[in-house]
């Protein structure tokens, strides 16, 4: 089973996919995808050699049961190949794909990860925050007091262990998340905002909370954004 | 400033670097590198357009002081460009490069991360362990009782928060680390061993500790390896 990353936005494929990975993605005729529509857009971008209507795309959701996934993977026992793709970025990271890799290991199948874009990793590289120790938490709680409590708990952990904390938010709630972070964290904590990575709209800044407070808030509305912070 | 990933082993460059990143890396004439020798090998691999002896390589260590890094970055204020590379994988992740990105942010310079291989991310994708929440810890303590205590503390955290724990070891100590993990963690904890990623020697398996105990230990001697685990 091949784990194949897809683009993060509308950037040209030569910016984010190595040639061998592109060639592999272009020749496979069976995929497991989080979203069939974005999978077809990816197949067009890489120049699939089979007509799109001849490519099988199994759609994976949180609800897909294990027996069905095993059925999709069974042909691999006889030397078949299948690609696993996410809606954006690296499959099995911050998406339901990890279950497919887990089931493949259980069936004794080879699992091959390929190089491509991950917004989590690109944000970490560019943040200037500690890259020796970091944690990705996914989403913070939505309820305001619970959210503040969790952001502070991660801040304490960060200060104790020198651990960069990373989180994401539903894009239409990014402005609210930025406001929560600035209102909740300590003045000398450094916060990185990494927006629209790999696209023409890419924007990455790291400042202390005190500095963020003095400037205008960045425009994050409906734009995929990573938030990273490190306490002193 | 451009953050440019380098290969993890002897795999051909087309397997791990997008064409636009390769072209960028080939045309820059100034680099900051963790290791000048591996940086030159990278420049050869990407087909640098300048003769290698005409490319400036500043060597970065844990001891390089901030004023020196500021000096290296100063030409960027007048529109210059510089590449930051690690010994292997993504710069500023599990290496001293994060300080350079941090100083660049402080100087108001644009920091641009580029797509390429990260053994941490490739291992996470392929592990089948939870990719929604994960933490990279770097090295575990060397002293045996302290190591066991830390591995168990991470295991508890993993069970509570469904967080995949990731660590590395000095390659000649990999066999000892594997033995510690198998001896210390609970039987139903899943452990992934991801060796020599992207190379011909790549080998990735996820099993429960109980299952690892019944089979032979993998050959990890002097081979770069990631260890990942997730408690039930």
What's the rounded Cα separation, in Å, for the pair A28 and A48? 8
Q: Enumerate residues 4 to 33 of chain B having a beta carbon within 8 A of any beta carbon in chain A.
A: 12, 14-21
Nearest-CA distance from A172 to chain B in Å?
Answer: 20
Among B98, B136, B147, B97, CA closest to A133:
B136
Contacts of A18 in chain B (CB under 8 A): 14-18
Nearest-CA distance from B54 to chain A in Å?
Answer: 27
Tell me what pLDDT residue B27 has: 98
What's the rounded Cα separation, in Å, for the pair A112 and A114? 7
Tell me what pLDDT residue B133 has: 97
User: A189: exposed, middle or buried (C-beta count within 10 Å: 0-12, 13-18, 19+)?
Assistant: buried
Q: What is the mean pLDDT of residues B76-91?
A: 96
DSSP state of A228: E
Q: What is the mean pLDDT of residues A91-113?
A: 96
Return the percentage of chain A with pLDDT > 70, whole number: 100
Kindly report the three-state secondary structure assignment for every residue of B182-204.
Answer: HHHCCCCCEEEEEECCCCCCCEE
Tell me what pLDDT residue A71 has: 98
Of B18, B99, B204, the CB nearest to A17: B18
Among A147, A205, A206, CA closest to A180:
A147
Q: Give the pLDDT confidence of B186-230 residue by residue, as tens digits.
A: 999 999 999 999 999 999 999 999 999 999 999 999 999 999 999
Tell me what pLDDT residue B14 has: 97
Return the percentage of chain B with pLDDT > 90, whole number: 99
Cβ–Cβ under 8 Å, residues B230 and B161: no
User: B136: exposed, middle or buried (C-beta count within 10 Å: 0-12, 13-18, 19+)?
Assistant: buried
Cβ–Cβ under 8 Å, residues A140 and A167: yes
Tell me what pLDDT residue A21 has: 98
What's the pLDDT band for B136 if we cut at 50, 70, 90?
very high
- Residue B120 and residue A120: Cβ atoms within 8 Å? no
What's the pLDDT band for B78 if we cut at 50, 70, 90?
very high
Q: Which residue of A has its CA nearest to B104?
A: A128
- Residue A113 and residue B126: Cβ atoms within 8 Å? yes
H/E run at residue B227: strand B225-230
Q: What is the distance between the terminal CA atoms of chain B, rounded to a whole angstrom?
A: 42
Contacts of A47 in chain B (CB under 8 A): none
What's the rounded Cα separation, in Å, for the pair A222 and A28? 33
* Tokens representing residue A210 in the block: 């005190």
Torsional class of A140: left (φ above 0), alpha (ψ -120 to 50), beta (otherwise): beta
User: Who contacts B179 (Cβ-Cβ below 8 Å, separation ≥6)?
Assistant: B217
- Best A111, A113, A160, A168 residue to mutate vs chain B (most B CBs within 10 Å): A113
Cβ–Cβ under 8 Å, residues B128 and A101: yes
* Tokens representing residue B28 in the block: 């820059």
Q: What is the mean pLDDT of residues B72-78?
A: 97
Tell me what pLDDT residue B21 has: 98
Tell me what pLDDT residue A191 has: 98
What's the rounded Cα separation, in Å, for the pair B169 and B147? 12
What's the pLDDT band for B74 if we cut at 50, 70, 90?
very high
Q: From residue B157, how far is each of A141, A154, B150, B163, B164 by CA, in Å? A: 18, 13, 11, 7, 9
Tell me what pLDDT residue B31 has: 98
3-class DSSP state of A60: coil
3-class DSSP state of A123: helix
How wide is the angle at C-alpha B24 spanned by C-alphas B22 and B29, nearest 5°?
115
Nearest-CA distance from A123 to chain B in Å?
Answer: 8
Q: What is the mean pLDDT of residues A116-145?
A: 97
- Residue A205 and residue B105: Cβ atoms within 8 Å? yes
Count of CA atoms in the C-beta half-sphere (13 A) of B99: 17
Query: Helix A144-161 to helix A174-184 angle, to the nearest 10 degrees?
Result: 60
Contacts of B99 in chain A (CB under 8 A): 128
A119-230 maps to CATH 3.40.50.300: no
Question: Residue for token digits 């941090």?
Answer: B102
Q: Give the pLDDT confidence of B14-38 residue by residue, as tens digits.
A: 999 999 999 999 999 999 999 999 9
Domain range annotation of chain B:
2-113, 119-230
Decide if B2-113 and B119-230 have a common fold: no
Q: What is the CATH number of domain B2-113?
A: 3.40.1010.10
Which alpha helices (DSSP H) does chain A contain, by range?
19-27, 36-46, 66-73, 98-106, 119-127, 144-161, 174-184, 209-214
Q: What is the mean pLDDT of residues A219-229?
A: 97
What's the pLDDT band for A138 if we cut at 50, 70, 90?
very high
Average confidence score pLDDT of chain B: 97
């Amino acid at each position: 089973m091949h784990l194949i990353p897809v683009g993060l936005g509308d950037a040209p494929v030569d910016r984010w996919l190595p040639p061998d990975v592109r060639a592999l993605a272009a020749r496979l005729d069976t995929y497991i995808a989080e979203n069939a529509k974005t999978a077809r857009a990816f197949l067009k971008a890489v120049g699939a050699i089979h007509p799109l209507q001849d490519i099988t795309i199994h759609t994976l959701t949180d609800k897909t049961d294990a027996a069905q996934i095993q059925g999709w993977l069974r042909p691999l026992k006889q030397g078949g190949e299948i690609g696993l793709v996410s809606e954006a970025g690296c499959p099995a990271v911050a998406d339901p794909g990890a279950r497919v890799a887990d089931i493949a290991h259980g069936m004794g199948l080879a699992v091959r990860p390929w190089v491509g874009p991950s917004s989590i990793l690109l944000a970490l590289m560019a943040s200037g925050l500690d890259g020796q120790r970091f944690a990705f938490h996914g989403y913070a709680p939505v309820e305001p007091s619970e959210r503040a409590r969790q952001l502070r708990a991660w801040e304490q952990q960060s200060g104790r262990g020198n651990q960069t904390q990373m989180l994401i938010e539903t894009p239409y709630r990014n402005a609210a998340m930025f406001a929560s972070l600035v209102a909740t964290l300590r003045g000398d904590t450094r916060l990185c905002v990494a927006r629209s990575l790999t696209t023409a709209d890419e924007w990455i800044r790291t400042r202390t909370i005190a500095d963020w407070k003095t400037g205008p808030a960045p425009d994050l509305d409906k734009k995929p954004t990573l938030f990273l912070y490190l306490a002193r």
